[in-house]
């Protein structure tokens, strides 16, 4: 199979074993080079930026404490926030799930007879699949974040929660633009590509009827929304169109405006390694700015603002003693960038339908289906990410817990049957056979030594290698070690006279 022709969207659902393998091969052959280079740049920058933070550990503790307190009091904070937004003339909607959130947003757009919507980057809207719903209602959606614009043109889903097009080299972006836009002048350099996208999008901003953004944080006491960005497109999305809709998960709400600072100090250094993002927007919508009629024919005098908070499994996560911790995540991406497996594969293989990296598995399981988190198997539990997390989430432990749930859920009758013949503890018999085999390797090695040389002959047979390949995923080309009748321990005892 030519993996250059496999589209990431085709392998997005990795609950199927075949798609999972296809995604891994496609990522290695097509996307790995760009992911490795870009994550390494983020990492180098992060080490420098974090080293410059005075009392980094205390700041992390502070951020963690704020998130813990906020998640513990979400229902009260939501009530307070609703009051804040509506008392200033804004609209507030608490959506139960993705469908509910999408329908609300679509109805607002239809009421305003919206023809064109500009959108800032929002992983929550990826989670709810908002674009499909709006486009099916006949509304044009223009992604305005440069990386999201590239992905929209390529019809791909994000491969990273902060840098969605991290898997594309400049050359692949140039090829894409050439194919889709057939520009008069060749677009090759980063600057040429960016200028082209900027001009294309500027017109969309001026014509847009509605702007949709996400939110990095929302404060309950003042209804303040924090949006960090590098390109200025969020600022234009939230200010140019007469209607602004902000869509965010309920976990983005924190108690008070004075709690924003630690997150601003931690977010950019942890993610891209910048001391501060190029733009930090702190809004208290609805804004009291005049509406300019760039499009012509509009009679909107006042700005309209809608805050759509979506649950979509988050309140159930909050009740879960283990995966509740993922709600503290501020989506900085440090855990993705530092992960060696992610550096090789990127989020189209080491990711699900929306979220990627180790923490992505918890988000997929919490907001989607548990099976969507199958890629959690790619985490080796090395724990490098724990120290990088600005809110001290034990990501490998959460990932391990998700894997346990997947194994329990998956009914592998062959593994349960064969595990009766293994020295596996009863509570571990739901694990895949491969894991049971390697977890009990000492037992098999001992048996092999006792039966040597018979065991060496038997394990070299074609049929044995086939069984080992099918049952334990031991590649047939791998050279197996030879069992010795006398073990090292026995030899040592003999030599030392014990």
Query: What is the smallest separation between the CB atom of 404 and ligand SF4, expressed in angstroms?
Result: 19
Residues that bind ligand SF4 (CB under 6 A): 270, 329-335, 359, 388-391, 393, 395
Query: What is the smallest separation between the CB atom of 43 and ligand SF4, expressed in angstroms?
Result: 12
Under 8 Å between Cβ of 14 and 406: no
Q: How far apart are CA 478 and CA 494, in angstroms?
A: 32
Q: How far apart are CA 349 and CA 331, in angstroms?
A: 19
Q: CB-wise, 157 or 270, nearer to ligand SF4? A: 270
Q: CB-wise, 122 or 459, nearer to ligand SF4? A: 122
Q: CB-wise, 150 or 332, nearer to ligand SF4? A: 332
CB-based contacts of 195, cutoff 8 Å, min separation 6: none
SS3 at position 184: coil
User: Which DSSP string do the residues of 13-64 spell out, in sequence order?
Assistant: -TTSHHHHHHHHHHIIIIIHHHHHHHHHHHHHHHHHHHHTSTTHHHHHHHHH
Under 8 Å between Cβ of 350 and 395: no
Q: CB-wise, 270 or 343, nearer to ligand SF4? A: 270
Q: How far apart are CA 443 and CA 436, in angstroms?
A: 11
Query: What is the smallest separation between the CB atom of 339 and ligand SF4, expressed in angstroms?
Result: 9
Q: CA 182, 188, 189, 195: dihedral to nearest 10 degrees?
A: -10
Q: CB-wise, 337 or 419, nearer to ligand SF4? A: 337
Peptide bond into 453 cis (omega under 30): yes
Tell me the angle at which helices 146-154 and 190-207 cross, rounded to the nearest 10 degrees.
90
Query: What is the smallest separation between the CB atom of 342 and ligand SF4, expressed in angstroms?
Result: 11
User: Which structure tokens are listed for 50?
Assistant: 């974090």
Query: What is the smallest separation between the CB atom of 125 and ligand SF4, expressed in angstroms?
Result: 18
The rounded Cα 90 to chain-centroid distance in angstroms is 30
Q: CB-wise, 268 or 415, nearer to ligand SF4? A: 268
SS3 at position 103: helix
Please list the residues that pair with 307 across neighbouring strands. Answer: 92, 246
Under 8 Å between Cβ of 166 and 38: yes
Q: CB-wise, 166 or 240, nearer to ligand SF4? A: 166
Query: What is the smallest separation between the CB atom of 98 and ligand SF4, expressed in angstroms?
Result: 21
Q: CB-wise, 228 or 332, nearer to ligand SF4? A: 332
Query: What is the smallest separation between the CB atom of 334 and ligand SF4, expressed in angstroms?
Result: 4
Query: What is the smallest separation between the CB atom of 364 and ligand SF4, expressed in angstroms?
Result: 13
Q: How far apart are CA 228 and CA 375, in angstroms?
A: 29
């Amino acid at each position: 199979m030519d993996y250059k022709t496999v589209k990431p969207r085709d392998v997005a659902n990795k609950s199927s074993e075949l798609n999972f393998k296809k995604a891994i091969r496609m990522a290695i052959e097509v996307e790995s080079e760009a992911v490795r280079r870009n994550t390494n740049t983020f990492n180098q920058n992060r080490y420098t930026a974090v080293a410059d933070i005075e009392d980094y550990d205390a700041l992390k503790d502070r951020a963690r404490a704020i998130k813990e307190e906020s998640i513990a009091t979400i229902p009260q904070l939501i009530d307070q926030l609703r009051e804040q937004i509506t008392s200033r003339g804004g609209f507030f909607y608490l959506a139960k799930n993705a469908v509910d959130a999408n329908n609300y947003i679509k109805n607002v757009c239809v009421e305003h007879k919206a023809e064109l919507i500009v959108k800032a980057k929002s992983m929550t809207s990826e989670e709810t699949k908002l674009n499909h719903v709006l486009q099916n209602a006949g509304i044009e959606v223009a992604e305005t974040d440069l990386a999201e614009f590239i992905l929209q043109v390529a019809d791909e889903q994000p491969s990273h929660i902060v840098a969605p097009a991290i898997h594309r080299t400049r050359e692949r972006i140039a090829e894409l633009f050439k194919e889709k836009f057939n520009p008069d002048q060749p677009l090759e350099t980063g600057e040429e590509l960016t200028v082209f996208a900027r001009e294309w999008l500027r017109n969309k901003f001026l014509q847009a009827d509605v702007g949709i953004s996400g939110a990095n944080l929302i404060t309950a006491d003042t209804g303040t929304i924090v949006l960090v960005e590098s390109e200025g497109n969020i600022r234009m999305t939230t200010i140019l169109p007469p209607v602004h809709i902000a869509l965010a998960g309920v976990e983005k709400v924190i108690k008070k405006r004075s709690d924003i600072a630690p997150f601003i100090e931690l977010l950019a250094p942890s993610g891209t390694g910048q001391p501060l993002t190029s733009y930090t927007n702190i809004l208290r919508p609805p804004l009291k700015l005049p509406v300019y009629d760039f499009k012509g024919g509009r009679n909107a005098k006042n700005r309209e603002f809608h805050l759509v908070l979506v649950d979509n499994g988050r309140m159930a996560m909050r009740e879960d003693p283990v995966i509740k911790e993922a709600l503290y995540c501020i989506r900085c991406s440090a855990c993705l960038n530092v992960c060696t497996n992610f550096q090789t594969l990127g989020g189209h293989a080491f990711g699900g339908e929306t979220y990627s990296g180790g923490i992505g598995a918890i988000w997929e399981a919490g907001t989607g289906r548990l099976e969507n988190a199958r890629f959690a198997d790619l985490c080796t539990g090395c724990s490098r990410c724990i120290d990088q997390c600005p809110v001290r989430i034990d990501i490998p432990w959460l990932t391990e817990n998700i894997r346990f749930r997947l194994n329990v859920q998956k009914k592998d009758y062959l593994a349960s049957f064969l595990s009766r013949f293994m020295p596996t503890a009863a509570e571990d018999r739901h694990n895949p056979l491969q894991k049971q085999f390697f977890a009990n390797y000492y037992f098999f090695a001992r048996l092999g030594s006792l039966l040597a040389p018979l065991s060496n002959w038997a394990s070299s047979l074609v049929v044995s290698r086939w069984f080992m390949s099918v049952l334990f995923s031991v590649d047939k080309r791998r050279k197996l070690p030879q069992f010795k009748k006398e073990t090292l321990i026995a030899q040592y005892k003999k030599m030392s006279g014990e």
